[in-house]
Amino acid sequence: MERFSSLIKTIVPIWAWIFLTSIFVGTIYAGQLLGFSLLDESLLNPTTTRSLHITLMLYGPVMLALSLLPFALFSKEGLNLDEAVVPMRNYFFLWHLFLFMAVVSITLGLQRGLPFYDFTYELNFILAVSGIFYIIAIFKIIKQYKITPLWVKVSKTLLFIAPISLLVLMNPTYGQVESTLSGPHGDNTLGMSFTLIPLFYLMIKLQAKEKFTPTWHIFWIIPLVGYALSVATRIFIGELSYNEEWVYQWLTFAYAPLLVKWYKDANLSRKNAPYLVISIWAFLFVMIQGNILFIPEIRWDFHRNDLIVAHAHVAIGLGIFFMSLSILSYFYKIPQKFAHFWLYVIGFIFVSLSLAGFSEAGYINLDIIPMWWIRFIGGVLAVLGLLYYIVKELKKPELKLINLYHLNGFASDGLGAVILILFAPFLFSFLGFTFNHTYYLVFGFMGFVGILHLIGVYKDSHFLAYATSIARLITGTIFLSLFYLGKIDALGVLVGIYDISYALIYMLFRNKF
pLDDT digits (tens, 9 = 90+) for 114-123: 666 778 888 8
- Give the DSSP H or E segment for 117: none
Task: Name the nearest CA neighbour of 286 among 265, 315, 261, 251.
Answer: 315
Q: Which residues of the chain have pLDDT under 50?
A: 181-182, 184, 303-307
**Residue 509: Cβ-neighbour burial (10 angstroms; 0-12, 13-18, 19+):** exposed
Angle 77-81-82 from CA coordinates, rounded to 5°: 155
Amino acid 65: pLDDT: 92
Q: What does the radius of gyration of the chain's CA atoms come to, in whole angstroms? A: 25
203, 70 contact by CB (below 8 A) = no
Amino acid 313: pLDDT: 79
The model carries a pTM of 0.83
E strands, 38-80, in order: none
Amino acid 87: pLDDT: 95
Task: Name the nearest CA neighbour of 473 among 441, 451, 449, 457.
Answer: 449
Amino acid 303: pLDDT: 47
Amino acid 81: pLDDT: 92
Would you tell me how many other CB atoms lie within 10 Å of the CB of residue 416? 18
Angle 114-115-118 from CA coordinates, rounded to 5°: 50
Alpha-carbon gap, residue 185 to 241, rounded angstroms: 10
Amino acid 386: pLDDT: 92
Would you tell me how many other CB atoms lie within 10 Å of the CB of residue 23? 21
Q: 272 Cβ partners below 8 Å, 6+ apart? A: 207, 209
Amino acid 306: pLDDT: 43
Amino acid 89: pLDDT: 95
Phi, psi dihedrals of residue 400, rounded to the nearest 5°: -80, 165
Task: Name the nearest CA neighbour of 116 among 52, 159, 38, 68.
Answer: 52
